[in-house]
Amino acid sequence: MERVKRHILFIAVSAAVIAADQVSKSVILNLVPLHETITVIPDFLNVVHFRNPGGAFGLFAAQSGFGLGMIFFIITLVALGLIIYLYKQTPAGERLLAAGLALVFGGAVGNLIDRLRFGNVVDFIDLYVKDYHWPAFNVADSAITLGIVIFAFYVIFRKMPA
């Protein structure tokens, strides 16, 4: 029964991330023109409409093109396979770890949908202090980051069986 609950949790968290990511991007696509900025909290938070052909946080964005897109597509498929493998290895009672893996899975699928639809990823959250801007990101990126933090916490601090 514990394993069934964990499967439901994994599916629900993944689906919620994908839905939140795609709905939020749809709002941006429909309401914010490309390269526009809307100040939400001065000197801290903007909503922007940016297209990222590169990797997380704009890595390799200058090297855009079909080849790079294929590389990111393949990397994403491998990552999804690895997440499923790690999830299957997760002990039945480890719900937090399962949720963390589901966050990464849902975020990866959310960004993969963008790459398949547009050839790039829609980013729209711009955090900054004065003139320092963190690279624009989206709900999927946030889920991936949180999931990796949970996974790292589990790996570093978990109790090993006696």
Question: Looking at residue 53, what is its pLDDT?
Answer: 81
For residue 126, indicate whether it is catalytic. no
For residue 43, indicate whether it is catalytic. no
Q: Which residue in this structure is represented by tokens 């999927």? A: 140
CA distance to 38, 64, 68, 142, per residue, from 74 (Å): 34, 15, 10, 21
pTM of structure: 0.89
Question: Looking at residue 65, what is its pLDDT?
Answer: 56
Nearest to 21 by CA among 153, 114, 131: 114
Check: CB of residue 33 under 8 Å from CB of residue 49: yes
Question: Looking at residue 1, what is its pLDDT?
Answer: 73
Question: Looking at residue 158, what is its pLDDT?
Answer: 78
Task: Provide block-wise average pLDDT over 10 residues at a time, the chain (162 residues).
Answer: 88 99 98 97 96 66 62 92 96 92 98 94 95 93 97 82 42
Annotated catalytic residue: which of 21, 114, 123, 126?
123
Question: Looking at residue 71, what is its pLDDT?
Answer: 84
